[in-house]
Structure 1
Amino acid sequence: MRHLLGFIFIVLIFSCNGDRSERNPFLQEIGFRFDLNLNLPEYSPLTNTGNAIYVDNVGVGTRGAFVINIGFNQFRVFEASCPNHAPNSCSTTELSGQTAICSCEDYEYSLFTGQLLNKPEGEGRFYDMLEYRATISGNVVTISN
């Protein structure tokens, strides 16, 4: 009985792995912190649910970031570089309402979820947008990684 319990314990230890996600080989995860003061005109669209902005300040992500107000004082932030190829001249996605569009392949991504909306048929691994953290304190949204 004791050997059986020991075997089960060993199996449980080796089968538990908290990180099952595959890292995106095209994007580096760059550390940064940037504050968005919602009282400033350039960030004030974020005071309304469903509005998104592009933050292209130096040091924010690889190619900037998209920030969207998803309602109930919550925000989501995604890397602006297309996650399905290495950064190049056309890989910075463009804001189009509540989606981001990559002009290289016309991939479209939801800014509410970060998911690729028009996944090509066929085999191959396709990545959703790289998400960053967003916290709010008063009228300041802090985005970071």
Structure 2
Amino acid sequence: MAGKVLVLLGSKSDGEVMGEAARVLSEFGIPYSMTVTSAHRSPDRTRKIVRRAEEDGCSIIIAGAGSAAHLAGCAAADTLLPVIGVPLANSPLGGFDSLLSTVQMPAGIPVATMAVGSAGARNAGYLAAQILGLSDPALRE
């Protein structure tokens, strides 16, 4: 197996939607870990988790958050691993705020942004599988 995926959730309430990414990863036999951490409420903890991801065997980070969704961007700022962002629709703006917060990154802080919600979470799992499949012939098949 080419690597493990770290799935970050901005809060426990994001677990149901982000579980869709985990299900896709499981379908492909890709190991993953899920961690709840907030770019706003626990920035030092988040930074530590992200910076340790590569030494923990992770090759990709999937980050899902709602509202002012800075989790994916904060992760991308602290690692060279690919970061896939999943904006979530758990705010009065229906995910539009999350989408803009996730997709509008400055140059040099790339985040591959998926659709809002469950479809985006599933696609994050599929994209992670595609990326890992580039260096894992068994996964490619």
Report the TM-score range of the alignment, normalised by the length of the smaller protein: under 0.3
Q: Which has the higher contact order (CA 8 A, sep 6+)?
A: 2
Higher strand share: 1
Please, what TM-score do these two structures have when normalized by structure 1? Answer: 0.27
Structure with bigger gyration radius = 1
Higher helix share: 2
